[in-house]
Amino acid sequence: MLYSTIETLKKNQLSITDSRKKILEMFVRSKGALAHADIESQSGTEFDRVTIYRTLQTFVEKGIIHTIPTADNSVRYALCKDACTEGHHRDDHVHFMCDHCGTTYCLDHVHVPKVSLPEGFTSTQMDLVVSGKCMKCNH
């Protein structure tokens, strides 16, 4: 089922504001993940830097978007497509960063495989980030 941005905001008990509507729409339209800087440049001077930070934080807390751990330690965000809820993310899919065009993809259908940890270690979360050349850049 697909929700409009307004429906998504309502469903998460967030008040409907211009910044939230527009930023959420950017994620819906975008193929890849977005960094704070992407949102800032796409929205021009429409919103304050701080508003963007706070909007992203709120969306993460509500389980609307998730952060992506990248090899270069920059912060990127993408829509949650799994059953994420407030304070509980379930994004157990693989992420892909293209070395060539820089796009970061959620590979929603590729799951992180189990690995056997050494005696005594127990896991609650696994993040797998694959780098290489994407679909488009492999022409």
Residues at the interface with a copy of itself (CB under 8 A): 67, 69-71, 73-75, 94, 96, 99, 107, 109-110, 112-113, 115-136, 138
Quote the Cα angle for 29-30-33, to 5°.
Answer: 145
d(CA 71, CA 54): 24
Contacts of 27 (CB under 8 A, 6+ apart): 34, 65, 77, 78, 79
Q: Which is nearer to DNA, 71 or 75 (CB)?
A: 75
Binds 78, which of a copy of itself, Zn ion, Mn ion, none (CB < 5 to 8 A, cut-off by type)? Mn ion
Binds 135, which of a copy of itself, Mn ion, DNA, none (CB < 5 to 8 A, cut-off by type)? a copy of itself
Choices 17-25, 82-90, 96-104, 119-127 (CB under 7 A): range interacting with DNA: 17-25
Q: Is position 61 an interface residue for DNA (rule: CB under 7 A)? A: no
CB 35 within 8 A of CB 78: no
Q: Is position 98 an interface residue for Zn ion (rule: CB under 5 A)? A: yes
Quote the Cα angle for 18-83-37, to 5°.
Answer: 40
The residues that touch Zn ion, with contacts defined as CB under 5 A, are 98, 100-101, 134, 137
